[in-house]
Structure formats: structure tokens, C-alpha cells
A and B are shown apart, each in its own frame.
Chain A
Amino acid sequence: MIKYSRIMEKVFLSEEAEMRIMTAIHRCDIQKLRQKTKTRFIKGITAAAACAVICAVSINLIADKHIQNPPADLGAQGSVTEYKTVSDLASSLDYSLMVPDVLPEGYSYALCVNQFGMAQIIYKNGENEFKYYMEPAQEGEIDYSQYENTKTEDGITLAGNADGWLEADTTDGKFTYSFISDVPLKESDFINTAKSLKAYGK
């Protein structure tokens, strides 16, 4: 075991800390529920009174609010979500999705994923995967130390080994576009794919 893991073994929640945290969470929970219940009770009384006196404006506002603001689907937030279609993925992103128009020979669309806001589209050729990532540009350079060879061609950085290229990255300053293959591919496969990027739906 490395020393860092030995340090972390000494970092744990004591029973007392667990109890303290759970008590605080339950207290927070109860307070929130109380607050919610109180608000709901007042709303209920208001609605009943509004109904009784035929206060049309009040009822109208409440019902409109109900229709216009359905409860949000919290399950989809802050997580890794798979989509069946690129259209669904594009709708889930807060930026305009760019997709490759040309793919390496034999590859076709398999599925796509929104990983905490990073778009990932997976193309398959049998068991082999060709992955495309688009995300807002990050600080720092990409590390290619695990590859034997790298070269840059028309602003596209290729990385791979003696058998061929495994990764290509390019950026327009605002976004980073990466292509990663499980098996070595030809330079032209990556270059043609990276150059064929265009806004989805256009």
C-alpha cells in the first residue's frame, strides 16, 4: 500500500461525527418540512377561501402556476445520462453540439452520453469503439506521454504507437474536440473525421 493510502486510512468518520452529521441533517430536514408544511397550509387556506368566495384571479394564478411549472426531473441532473439519439444529447447540452460528418470506415453510431455536461458519442465497428468528446476548452496541455508518437497536422494533434494512431485532439479555443479509438487507425481516418465536424442539425 502506498503512503498516501496509509494517510487516508487514518481519515475516517468517528461514530460521534456520524451521529452529529446525521442529527444535523435530520434537523435540517425537519425544519424544511415544517417550513414546507406551513407554506402549504397557508396556500391551502388561501385556495379554499378563494374557492369559497369565487376569487377567480387567485385560483387562476395558482392553477396556471401548476400547469406552467411541473416538478423538475431532478434525477437527470448532475449525473451521467445516456441518450439513444444525438438529437436528445444535443437538447441536453447548454451549448451547440458539433458532430463529425465523416467516420472511419466501418464505424456507425452506437450511443451517446452527457457526462456532467461533456458530450460523448460512441461509434462502433463490431467490438471496436471510436469515441468522440466535445467539452468547453480546459486550461493546460493534453498529456500524450502514454503514446510512442505524436504529431500535429492542420491544427489536429495525433497520438499513437507504431501500429497507427489512437487519439486526435483539436480545439477552436472555446471547445476541445477529441477522438479516441480502441484500435490503431490511419492518420487520414482521424484527420478526415476531425475536419468534418459541423454543428448538429445544420
Chain B
Amino acid sequence: MESCQKTDSQFWLKWLYFRTTAAISYFSEIFETGHREKTEYKNDISMAMKLYGNSVLRISYAYLHSMSDAEDVVQDTLIKLMQKDPQFESGEHEKAWLLHVAANICKNRLKSPYKSRTDELKEDYAAPKLDDELNEVWEAVKGLAPKYVAVIHLFYQEGYSTKEIASILKKNESTVRSLLSRARGLLKDSLKEAYDFDD
């Protein structure tokens, strides 16, 4: 009986020792990780803003047609970058990731009932001033469905190949080619002589 009690108490002492060690290691890791996060991602964010901020803003503006909304998307995209803190193989990889995230945020915003309710009431204070010729093109692009705007923007503005666009938008290469071709057709119809998107 006595030996049994002794074995029990030894077991519990060992158990307590291992559990306490695990808990201490857990908390020290949390504190260390927290510190690392705080110092590391700050530089990445400001660098990403400098290098890719305008690209993210432009694709967001193409989707949402509002500078203030596009600036919000830039902010949300950079916050995502900070939260996820992914490892990139190159600057191009980072840019593609940011454009992918921004496109998804824009698509979610377009689906949001708040956006559809407030869209027409909002005055876009920082909308670029366009002459008649450019305004005609912009109105035609604005009239396209978001899926067409995305491929038009990435192809003509960012200079990506259909293969790269497929990767950014998570679509098949063939689907991207198809969307691009249809978008060109729609723009040709609406712009007529003013059409200047290369085929």
C-alpha cells in the first residue's frame, strides 16, 4: 500500500515537472515570437507601399471606380501582408501576391450590400481629372463586368502574360484568354473609333 502511494506521488511529481516545463516553453515562445513580429514586418510594409502601392491602388481603382475605396483596399492589402507575413521568392512574386489579395478584397467589397447602397451617394474627392477622350475610354472600362476589368488591367496596365494573370486570378490560362478576348470585343463595340487596345 505504502509502495503504491510512493509510486503515485513520483508519477504526479514527474507529470507536474513535464507539464510545467511545457507551459514555460510555450509562454517564452509567445513572448519571443511577439517581439520578432514587431520588429520584422515594419520594414516590409513601408517598402511594399513604396514599391507596389500604386499598382495595388490602380487595380483597386479599376475594380471599384473610387479613390477613397481604392485607398482603403491598399490599406487592407498591406494589413493582410503584415498578418500573413508570407515568404516571397522575389519582388515579382510579392507584387503578384499583393495584386491577388487586392483583387479578392475588391471582389468582396463589390459583393457587400454596404458598397451597393452607398456607391452612388459617394463623391469621389480624388478622382483623376480626365479629358473627353480618356473619359470615354474610362466610362467604357467602367461598364465592363469586374472579371473583364481585372484581365484588361493586368494585361494592359501591368503587362502580365495570360499565364501570369491566370496565376494571379486563380484561373485557367484558357479562361483568361477567353475573358481577355471578350473584354476586347465589348470595348470595341462601345468605343468604336476610340478603341486602341492592342489585339
Q: Is A108 an interface residue (CB 8 A)?
A: no
Contacts A74-B86, A133-B172; A7 near B130 (Cβ below 8 A): yes
Q: Is B106 an interface residue (CB 8 A)?
A: no
The docked-state distance in angstroms from the alpha carbon of A151 to that of B141 is 33
Secondary structure of the B contact surface, majority rule: helix
The docked-state distance in angstroms from the alpha carbon of A50 to that of B22 is 13
Asked if B74 and A3 sit within 8 Å, CB to CB, the answer is no
Band of interface residues on A: 35 or more
Q: Is A37 an interface residue (CB 8 A)?
A: yes
Q: Is A22 an interface residue (CB 8 A)?
A: yes
The docked-state distance in angstroms from the alpha carbon of A77 to that of B61 is 25
Number of A-B contacts (CB under 8 A): 181
Residues of A within 8 A of B180 (CB): 143
Q: Is A199 an interface residue (CB 8 A)?
A: no
Query: Which residues of B51-89 are within 8 A (CB) of A?
Result: 53-54, 57-58, 61-62, 67, 70-71, 74-75, 78-79, 82, 84-88
Contacts A2-B196, A5-B157, A115-B166; A13 near B53 (Cβ below 8 A): yes
Q: Is A47 an interface residue (CB 8 A)?
A: yes
Q: Is A162 an interface residue (CB 8 A)?
A: no
Asked if B172 and A140 sit within 8 Å, CB to CB, the answer is no
Asked if B67 and A62 sit within 8 Å, CB to CB, the answer is no
Which listed residue (B167, B170, B179) contacts A140, Cβ 8 A?
Answer: B179
Interface size on B, residues (CB 8 A): 75
A interface residue numbers (CB < 8 A to B): 2-8, 10-14, 17-18, 20-22, 24-25, 28-29, 33, 36-37, 40, 43-44, 47, 50-51, 54, 56, 59-60, 62-63, 66-67, 71, 74-80, 115-118, 133, 135, 138, 140-146, 167, 169, 176, 178, 180
Question: Can you list 24 A-B pairs with a CB-CB distance of less than 8 A?
Answer: A7-B134, A10-B130, A11-B57, A11-B70, A18-B49, A25-B45, A25-B79, A29-B42, A59-B23, A66-B23, A74-B84, A75-B86, A76-B86, A78-B84, A78-B86, A80-B96, A115-B166, A118-B171, A133-B173, A135-B171, A138-B175, A143-B182, A178-B172, A178-B174
B interface residue numbers (CB < 8 A to A): 15-16, 19-20, 22-27, 30-31, 33-34, 38, 42, 45-46, 49, 53-54, 57-58, 61-62, 67, 70-71, 74-75, 78-79, 82, 84-88, 93, 96-97, 100-101, 126, 128-130, 133-134, 137-138, 141, 152-153, 156-157, 166-168, 170-175, 177-182, 194, 196-198
